[in-house]
Structure formats: structure tokens, C-alpha cells
Amino acid sequence: MTGARRAALVTGASRGIGREIAGRLAEEGFDLTLSARGADALREAAAECAKRGGTRVRTVPADMAADDDVQRVVEAHRMAYGRLDLLVLSAGVGSAGPLGNYPSHRFDKQFAVNVRGPFLLIDACMELLRDTAPARIVAISSITGLAPEPGLAAYGASKAALTALCAAVNTEVSAAGVTATAICPGYVDTDMSVWNHDRVPPTEMITSGDIAELVVTMTRLSPQAVVPYLPVVRAGAALWQA
């Protein structure tokens, strides 16, 4: 390992949950590689991180559905820091719609970004994670992957697969010091949830800060503590509703 400071790679870092996680990690003193599709928004996120923590920040615009982009992000991080203490999988897409003529291209897109991309990224990062161990992977999954809801069959299935992927990582490499956690929240107050404001007001949603705090907490656990998945539900009587 070439760096003395802890280093993290965060996907989906230009907005919402991923951006808040990046900011909190900057406050914790992590060197960062931030990735998302939009270069301008990434630069803004990097500038915010620098203000919050004075940390080193590298940005790599990339599409997690593109194999070459995934490899490029990993190599850029390796060249910059030489270690990987934390891999945060926050890039994701969602599309609501009832069963019955659901567009197959929307299904394919969700599995490409929410499952295939994370699998390829974990696989490409595994050597670096093992060399840095103890190291952690945290994936932003969804409560719909544990308790499906009408209209979210494709999205929930993709997040269930992501949660299962984290469990599989633990069975394979947790003894070597690399552990994975899928954080599974209900609706979080980000732009991805705007479509549902008429049913769930933003004031009733989980905050991005809540999720970021949980990610930071994961980094403080010993490698003997494995948390395969962590449900986070909204306040109210319907405990398992998104």
C-alpha cells in the first residue's frame, strides 16, 4: 500500500446519497475517488468535499453500465492512492411500473446499473481490497429488495440481487478481512424520490445524512463484525413499507 491515509471510492457521488456520503468521508479524512456520469456535477461534489475535509479528491466520470468505464475507475483509484479501505456502491437507477407489458429495456437498465456494475466493480477491486484489508464494501440497496411493493417489481428484484451479492462477498472473503454491507432504506429525500412526493412528503422521508452516518459507522467496526444487510425504515405504523 502506497498511501498512509485511508482511501475510498464512491460511485453515484455527484448527487443525493452518494454525494452526502462523499462529504462525510471527507470529514473523516478519507482520500477519495468520486465517480458518476456527469463531469460538471462531479467537480462540484469534489469541491464540496475539499471544503468539508481538506482531503485529496480525484474525479472519474463513468457509466457503471459500461465495462470499460468500470475498469477505468478502478485503475484511476489504484494509481492515485494504491489502497482501497472503503468501496461505496451508490450509483443506481429506478423505474416504477406495474407488471403487465413492463418495458424490458427498463428492466435491463436497472439490472445493468444496480447489479452487473457493482459485481464488476467489486470483482475489479478485490485484489486492492484484499491487499488493504481490513476493508469494507457498502452498497446502497433498498427496503424493496427485502419487502417488495406493487409497481416496483423490477427495481426491488435488482436491489434484492445487490443485497445477495453483499452476502456472497462475506461468505467468500470476510475471513480475509473484506466485508460487505447492503444498506436497505425506505424512501430517502433525494431527487430520485420526487416522483412520490404526493404519497410520501419529503419531511417523512429518511435523510441522506442518515445513510451517510451509517456508512461512516461501518468504517468504525472491527473486521470481526460483519453486517450483511441493514434495513432502515421510515417512522410510522407500516414498518416495512418503503
Concatenate the DSSP letters of all residues of 142-181 into one string.
-GGGTS--TT-HHHHHHHHHHHHHHHHHHHHHGGGTEEEE
Residues 6 or more apart whose CB falls under 8 angstroms from that of 150 comprise 98
Annotated active-site residue in 81, 155, 187, 229: 155
From start to end of the chain, where are the E strands?
7-11, 31-36, 57-61, 86-89, 135-140, 178-185, 229-232
Shortest CA distance to 37 belongs to which of 144, 109, 138?
A: 109
Query: Annotated catalytic, 81?
Result: no
Angle, nearest 10°, between helix axes 208-219 and 16-27?
Answer: 50
Would you say 57 and 8 are in contact if contact means Cβ atoms under 8 Å apart?
A: no
Task: Cite the active site residues.
Answer: 155
